[in-house]
Structure 1
Amino acid sequence: MRQLLYQLIFFILLGIPDGRCLHMVNFFVPEFANRGDKVILECGFSVNDREEELYTVKWYKFDSRGKMSNFYTWTHSNQQPKKHRIEGVKVVMRESNQNFVTLKQMKIGSSGTYKCEVTSKRRNRNPKYFHPNENPPRFNVIEEEAKLQVVELAREPPEIQGGRGNYFYGDDLNLNCTSKPTYPPTTLTWFINDNRVGNSLIEDDLLYKDDDLYVTISFLRISVQPNLFRAGEIKVRCVAEITEEPIKASMLPDKKEFKLYQVKLPEAMKLSTQTIFDVPLFGDGCTNKLTKFILVIILFLNFMF
């Protein structure tokens, strides 16, 4: 009797519709992508074919203001996916289906939150007695989302400009260091013989370039003095690193202030490059005057004879 009761309960539960038939199996959105790369978004799910059928698969992107836009739709009725144009998202249709969507030519503006939404429609058990007004179709919806950040890292070291062929004690050393266009912006740090230069001797500027990239320029102003030399030389280094701090750009083309939000990079993507400038010293102040006098005498004698 007890066994018969268990069997009865089992068949009753088996006949109850399972609202969780549709479920997500694999969902993947890369956390970071390099500018210009191709990325693959994955939305793997499972549908109970006995209870339901796949209805639609849709991909959305949220912009920085939180606005959600649909850029890809796969419909079971015709199985012909459609793409919808939105800024920064380029879908490769021949490499996309109900489980995978391929995006190409990623830009900084492609960054944002991506969401996959899967909808299934419950099958009608008794189509002979189905009345749309009395038995509307029941839908199950699952969704998942993740953030993707596109970056442009420096592939070359910064460039130091402004150096002369020789210096004398008391001369002003005026150098500027320029980073390559990057996102997030680059932080430039000056070192003289491995000693970090204080902020009072440095002036930085952040320039906005095309495709949301930034160029950092740092100016170094210092007087050449004997105490700066180590082992008879001065080595000036400009080190470029990707910053992880929010930065305000001075001015954008629309003449409005713009704030860059914090971007945390994984350790594997953090790069540091540098350029070294050796200060060529010709002599001190007295030697400078004597040298110039001797050169004048030599030129005069060559002219006379």
Structure 2
Amino acid sequence: MNFIAIWLLIRILIGRFTTLTGADLKWVRVSVPQYRIPGDMALLQCDYNLGNDNLYAVKWYKDNEEFFKFLPKARPEASSYSVEGIHVDMKSSNRTTVVLYSLNFKSSGLYRCEVSAEAPSFASAQGEARMEIVYLPKEDPQISGVEREYQIGEMVNLNCTSGKSHPASILHWYVNEQQVLAPGTIIHYPPIQHRHGLSSSILGLRFVLTPKHFVGGSMKIKCIAVLSPVLWMGDKESVVQSLPIKQMREALLLVRSSAPPPPQIHSRLLAVTIIGLIVLYHS
């Protein structure tokens, strides 16, 4: 990999890209929060090195639509433009900083800061970074379709539904800590659409119950929902215990459910993980 390719990869990984024209304007560095939740504020930072140039203008764009401009020789120096999802706190915004408030899902997008110098160089430079507005689920994923009794050889037919979120959570099934990937075992359903742009994911699990599913006398079925960028973990456990049933060759499995209180939301981690758990015991 040559030097240019390595440099481009590094810039992409840190979510920044700078374009330069002219000789004196050295660089532009953009800092934008990667994730925010609805109703939050966001501080957009645009740092730059003019070298020997004088500043002509600083302009901010969201998805190529201009929403803020700072011209030091204009009166007033700062002005804003109507763009969907953008509310600028003009009192707190200046030549290097823009403050957004009342963020919503339409605030998600690619933010670009463009800096230009006065004559004679007319140099310009820009940097960009993306911000996503996410809504964290308030509920654990729910496992439905659990029968009161199971017999070896019967079909296990379950659905896992994630809590309302934006974007929709990604669901995974695990049996005895092994992710289920076999074709025909995982059933994909379209997400449920809710108000305010929220959605819930649904993923089905279908398989025939056999003795080999029981490791050490038990089987664990787990549904995990993942949502970037923050981590929230809760769990729901259903215990299926074997009972002696007369005139039956195979023990039936009785389902008993319990749901512990969900832990707190940790808003600074890197992924959202929600766990729904079923434990099957067999003797």
Q: What TM-score, normalized by structure 1, do the two folds share?
A: 0.60
Within-5 A mapping of 1:57-136 = 57-62=58-63, 68-76=64-72, 77-122=74-119
Within-5 A mapping of 1:16-27 = 20-24=23-27, 27=29
| Amino acid in the other structure paired with 2:240 | V
Q: Which residue of 2 aligns with 1:240?
A: 225
Please tell me whether the aligned partners of residues 240 and 274 of structure 1 are also in contact (alpha carbons under 8 angstroms).
no
The answer to which of 69-78 and 51-60 deviates more is: 51-60
Q: How far did residue 105 of structure 1 move?
A: 3.7
Please tell me whether residue 40 in structure 1 is matched to residue 43 in structure 2: yes
Q: Which residue of 1 aligns with 2:190?
A: 206
- The sequence identity of aligned pairs, in percent, is 26
- Paired with 2:62 and 2:95, the residues of 1 have a C-alpha distance of 17
Please tell me whether residue 179 in structure 1 is matched to residue 162 in structure 2: yes
Local SS of the residue matching 2:226: strand
- Paired with 1:193 and 1:120, the residues of 2 have a C-alpha distance of 62
The answer to which of 98-107 and 146-155 deviates more is: 146-155
- Paired with 2:26 and 2:233, the residues of 1 have a C-alpha distance of 44
Q: What TM-score, normalized by structure 2, do the two folds share?
A: 0.64
Consecutive unaligned residues in structure 2, runs of 5 or more: 1-21, 253-283
| Cα 1:57–1:79 shift into 2, 3 Å | farther
- Paired with 1:81 and 1:104, the residues of 2 have a C-alpha distance of 17
- Paired with 2:118 and 2:212, the residues of 1 have a C-alpha distance of 80
- Paired with 1:285 and 1:105, the residues of 2 have a C-alpha distance of 64
Q: Deviations over 1:85-131 (max 9, x none)?
A: 11122222222111100123434433332222233434xxxxxxxxx
Q: Which residue of 1 aligns with 2:19?
A: none
| Amino acid in the other structure paired with 1:27 | R
Q: Which residue of 2 aligns with 1:165?
A: 148
- Paired with 1:58 and 1:224, the residues of 2 have a C-alpha distance of 62
- Paired with 1:203 and 1:113, the residues of 2 have a C-alpha distance of 34
Please tell me whether the aligned partners of residues 235 and 276 of structure 1 are also in contact (alpha carbons under 8 angstroms).
no
Consecutive unaligned residues in structure 1, runs of 5 or more: 1-18, 63-67, 123-137, 243-264, 292-305
| Cα 1:109–1:165 shift into 2, 3 Å | same
| Amino acid in the other structure paired with 2:56 | Y
- Paired with 1:120 and 1:154, the residues of 2 have a C-alpha distance of 46
Bigger Rg over Cα: 1
Q: Which residue of 2 aligns with 1:277?
A: 238
RMSD of aligned Cα (Å): 3.6
| Cα 1:179–1:217 shift into 2, 3 Å | same
Q: Which residue of 2 aligns with 1:142?
A: 124
Q: Deviations over 1:235-290 (max 9, x none)?
A: 21112234xxxxxxxxxxxxxxxxxxxxxx7xx8577876543334445794399x
Local SS of the residue matching 1:90: coil
- Paired with 1:193 and 1:288, the residues of 2 have a C-alpha distance of 25
Q: Which residue of 2 aligns with 1:287?
A: 248
- Paired with 2:69 and 2:187, the residues of 1 have a C-alpha distance of 50
- Paired with 1:42 and 1:217, the residues of 2 have a C-alpha distance of 39
Please state which structure has a larger fraction of its residues in helix: 1
- Paired with 1:28 and 1:210, the residues of 2 have a C-alpha distance of 34
| Amino acid in the other structure paired with 1:167 | Y
| Amino acid in the other structure paired with 2:163 | K
Local SS of the residue matching 2:48: strand
